[in-house]
Amino acid sequence: MSTQGYDEELRSERDYVAGLYERLDAERARVKAEFTAALAGTGGTPMERDDQVRASAKQVRRLEVADNGLCFGRLDTLSGDHSYIGRIGLFDERDEYEPVLLDWRAPASRPFYTATAAHPENMRRRRQFHTRGRQVADFTDEVLGRPDAGERGDAALLAAVNAPRGEGMRDIVATIQAEQDRIIRLDHPGVVVIEGGPGTGKTVVALHRVAYLLYTQRERMERHGVLVVGPNPAFLNHIGRVLPSLGESDVVFTTTGGFVPGLRVTAEDGPEAVRLKGSLKILDVLAAAIADRQTLPDDPLPITLGGVTVRIDAETAEWARDEARKSGQPHNEARAVFTEIVTYVLTERAIGRIGRGWLKRSDRDTWERVRGDLLKELADDEVFTAALDELWPVLTPQELLAQLYSSPARLRAAGADPALGRADGEAWTVSDAPLLDELVDLLGRDKADDRAAERERKAQAEFAAGVLDGLVGRQDSMDDEDHLYATDLLFAEDLADRFVESDTRDLVERATADRDWTYRHVVVDEAQELSEMDWRVLMRRCPGRSFTVVGDLAQRRSPAGATSWGAVLDRYVPDRWVYRSLTVNYRTPAEIMAVAAALLAEFAPGVQPPESVRACGVQPWSRLVTEDGTAAAIEEFVRDEAGREGTSVVIGPPGVPGTVPASETKGLEYDAVLVVEPERILAEGPRGAAELYVALTRATQRLGVLHRGPLPQALAGLAESGTPVQAGLG
């Protein structure tokens, strides 16, 4: 294209995109007006008004995020037609709602990501816009179907991967590659495993797949939402902008420590405790720990009843315990069975003594009347309640587990490994979360509390209904001079409706607060780190077994993590999971990946490293430092990077000031990385090599290594440098 022709095309494209923004603004104004009207609306029930407000608010959010990069490309067909591709779809209501902008997830948009020179899919050209704010700055064209045409749209892709990193992960909606698009649009109802080495984009592909599923299956998915599970809060903050930027907000983000609402993690388990808690064998320990709390009295427990003394002896308690266990109910709910049998025995014995000489069993009416009086007496008897609490206590998951951990005797009784013991039973760890979640089902609810809450709700509803009935009755009996204002009736109706099942919280708020919430789809990132118990929790959260699982077995560091995907999934979905791999590294430049690949070959020789799509021109370096010189070298790196655009991090083993462990950087990326004492990272922890591999592959531009001891053999290819300045970092 000539310079004049390009300029004319650019003006034309700018005019078209400006027109799209005019439509966006008009649509946004219309939806905001609907939202305002819904907020002030008086028609319909409160539930209907709440639904309308939520629906309008969701539309407002969808249109707000579309402002940045609304249109990012154009597809031209062999017949001369063309379509514009963007974040959302826009239509021309004057022309039978013809699309003027295709949503990137629409089937007609797919060739924008998949058409290649070898397989043009009836497309002649792919045009990609580069925008600043609302204006098209320039564009690049890729002509399809010619032998010398490129297959990847490298100009836009390389501009994206070379750009300095910001505070969070960016969406890749404008630069999705064919390999990634095939996974994003994969039509599979079960579990999709996406495995890829560092920098292959597996996380962002999984998030775009969620956006695609919400677009194509919105009615099925949006009422229950999507759960995204990540390795740590920093990672969740990093990825948290991607789905909102694509217009999707019905998504809950959590770590495995967030499985239990309100749980505060304050400690970290050692490797052996992690392994023990992550194994399904811990289920036997939990069951035994509960059984250990269902006790028999060493000596008969005296209860005064109807003026006589009766006793709960071991034989009675054992009968009640056996029947309660055979009921199959959770522990707290089975207490009712235990209580019923103990109560029966005590009242029978008391009636026998009270009625000795005058009351026979054949006189059923009198017998039952006396029993009724005794039952009322027992219900208020604190000694009897204390005896029940001793023999069959109501337990919470936190109470049971804390007392188990802090008592060597209880650990022995439950057949648990002493490695589970700790002085502070309530110093919760991430590995405790799936155990506490399991105990919710094993223990069950306290039925007495549930009944009290239900009685209170019914009383409130009856009061509200009474107010309404009273006002209506008052209106019927009024003289002509009396007046009952409409606001009186409206107040009464609102009061009554308040106690109908109505919840004005949005989906994320409701799902986060509800342990029993189930999701239509679950994304699991860094899935190789999850234990068998973690997976058990997730399967409960998604009965439909619809998952996108993201991971890299070569990066596993947890002793309770996955050794193979089949070992994890065949237990739950033996015939409903598929495996897909990503092979191209878009993050790590070839110079750095060569160093990481040498390490990978040592600890995972059968794993093929991903192929880097680019080089950065800066060689990674190493530097020998003394103990006293480590802090100064770290300060020099931090000071130097502070003057550059982008992000940086210092990664090191535990105990080195100014560093963070590699585990806290999983899934994250930085322009520059300094790895401190790799020899100690290799030597410490159950998966030191995997830890170092993670550390080496976080950088997108620059990598430096500080070592005090001999440089590990796998890193021998690093150029030794006297100062970072000479290595290109200054």
3-state secondary structure string, 362-381?
Answer: CCHHHHHHHHHHHHHHHHCC
* b/e burial code for range 474-489 (CB count within 10 A of at least 16 → b): eeeeeeeeeeeeeeee
Q: Mean pLDDT, to the nearest integer, of 431-460? A: 76
HSE-CB of 452 using CA atoms within 13 angstroms: 5
The pLDDT value recorded for residue 619 is: 93
Nearest-angstrom CA–CA distance, 549 and 107: 24
The pLDDT value recorded for residue 501 is: 47
Q: Rounded to two decimals, what is the model's pTM?
A: 0.78
Q: Which residue has the higher pLDDT, 691 or 498?
A: 691
Q: Please provide the average confidence, as pLDDT, over all residues in the chain.
A: 85
Q: Tell whether the model's pLDDT for residue 264 goes beyond 60.
A: yes
Residue 661 marked in a binding site: no
165 pLDDT band, cuts 50/70/90, is: low
- The amino acid that residue 658 corresponds to is G
Mean pLDDT is highest, among 81-90, 125-134, 287-296, 618-627, for: 287-296
Residue 566 marked in a binding site: no
Window from 13-17, 82-86, 165-169, 662-666 with minimum mean pLDDT: 165-169
Window from 51-55, 291-295, 596-600 with minimum mean pLDDT: 51-55
Nearest-angstrom CA–CA distance, 121 and 77: 9
Residue 306 marked in a binding site: no
CA distances from 332 to 317, 382, 443, 456 (A): 16, 19, 5, 21
The pLDDT value recorded for residue 452 is: 55
464 pLDDT band, cuts 50/70/90, is: low
51 pLDDT band, cuts 50/70/90, is: confident
The pLDDT value recorded for residue 364 is: 81
Q: Which residues pair with 138 in a beta bridge?
A: 130
Residue 201 marked in a binding site: yes
Nearest-angstrom CA–CA distance, 146 and 149: 5
Window from 427-436, 484-493, 615-624 with minimum mean pLDDT: 484-493
How many residues comprise the chain? 730
Nearest-angstrom CA–CA distance, 378 and 342: 11
Q: Which residues pair with 101 in a beta bridge?
A: 90
The pLDDT value recorded for residue 485 is: 46
42 pLDDT band, cuts 50/70/90, is: low
Angle between the N-to-C axes of helices 433-443 and 397-405, in degrees from 0 to 180, rounded to the nearest 10 = 120
Fold of 191-259+518-582: Rossmann fold (3.40.50)
The pLDDT value recorded for residue 450 is: 53
Q: Mean pLDDT, to the nearest integer, of 359-382? A: 87
191-259+518-582 shares its CATH topology with 590-720: yes
The pLDDT value recorded for residue 373 is: 92
Nearest-angstrom CA–CA distance, 509 and 259: 14
Maximum distance among all alpha carbons in the chain? 119
Please identify which residue in the block is written with the tokens 């590990």. Answer: 712
Q: Tell whether the model's pLDDT for residue 32 goes beyond 90.
A: no
Q: Which CATH number fits domain 590-720: 3.40.440.10, 2.60.40.10, 3.50.50.60, 3.40.50.300?
A: 3.40.50.300
340 pLDDT band, cuts 50/70/90, is: very high
pLDDT in tens, 130-151: 888 899 988 888 887 643 333 3
Closest CA to 62 of 24, 20, 33: 24
Nearest-angstrom CA–CA distance, 413 and 383: 27
Window from 295-299, 406-410, 666-670 with minimum mean pLDDT: 666-670
Residue 47 and residue 19 in contact, taking contact as beta carbons nearer than 8 Å: no
Angle between the N-to-C axes of helices 331-354 and 433-443, in degrees from 0 to 180, rounded to the nearest 10 = 40
Share of the chain above pLDDT 90, in %: 53
Window from 353-367, 510-524, 572-586 with minimum mean pLDDT: 353-367
Two structure tokens written together for 603: 């600890």
Share of the chain above pLDDT 70, in %: 84
The pLDDT value recorded for residue 150 is: 39
Q: Which residue has the higher pLDDT, 526 or 360?
A: 526
DSSP SS3 for 410: helix
Closest CA to 214 of 246, 245, 240, 238: 246
Q: Mean pLDDT, to the nearest integer, of 616-637? A: 93
The pLDDT value recorded for residue 728 is: 35
Two structure tokens written together for 62: 């969808």
CA distances from 412 to 271, 405, 406, 419 (A): 21, 11, 12, 11
pLDDT in tens, 81-112: 999 999 889 998 776 678 999 999 999 999 88
Where do the H-state alpha helices sit in 165-201?
Answer: 178-184
The DSSP annotation for 419-469 comes to: GG--S-TT---GGGHHHHHHHHHHH---HHHHHHHHHHHHHHHHHHHHHHH
* Phi, psi (deg, nearest 5) at residue 459: -65, -40
Phi-psi region of 676 (alpha: psi -120 to 50; beta: other; left: phi over 0): beta
Q: Tell whether the model's pLDDT for residue 386 goes beyond 50.
A: yes
Window from 38-52, 193-207, 564-578 with minimum mean pLDDT: 38-52
Q: Mean pLDDT, to the nearest integer, of 207-212? A: 91
390 pLDDT band, cuts 50/70/90, is: very high
724 pLDDT band, cuts 50/70/90, is: very low
Q: Tell whether the model's pLDDT for residue 327 goes beyond 90.
A: yes
DSSP SS3 for 493: helix
Relative to beta strand 301-305, strand 611-612 is: unpaired
The pLDDT value recorded for residue 730 is: 34
Q: Which residue has the higher pLDDT, 339 or 56?
A: 339
The pLDDT value recorded for residue 167 is: 56
470 pLDDT band, cuts 50/70/90, is: low
Q: Which residue has the higher pLDDT, 456 or 291?
A: 291
Q: Tell whether the model's pLDDT for residue 260 goes beyond 70.
A: yes
Two structure tokens written together for 453: 């809450």
Relative to beta strand 577-582, strand 584-585 is: unpaired
Domain boundaries, the chain: 3-165, 191-259+518-582, 271-432, 447-499, 590-720
Residue 643 marked in a binding site: no
Q: Which residue has the higher pLDDT, 551 or 494?
A: 551
Two structure tokens written together for 376: 């009322």
CA distances from 397 to 426, 467, 674, 679 (A): 11, 41, 43, 42
Residue 421 marked in a binding site: no
In the chain, the N- to C-terminal Cα span, in Å, equals: 41
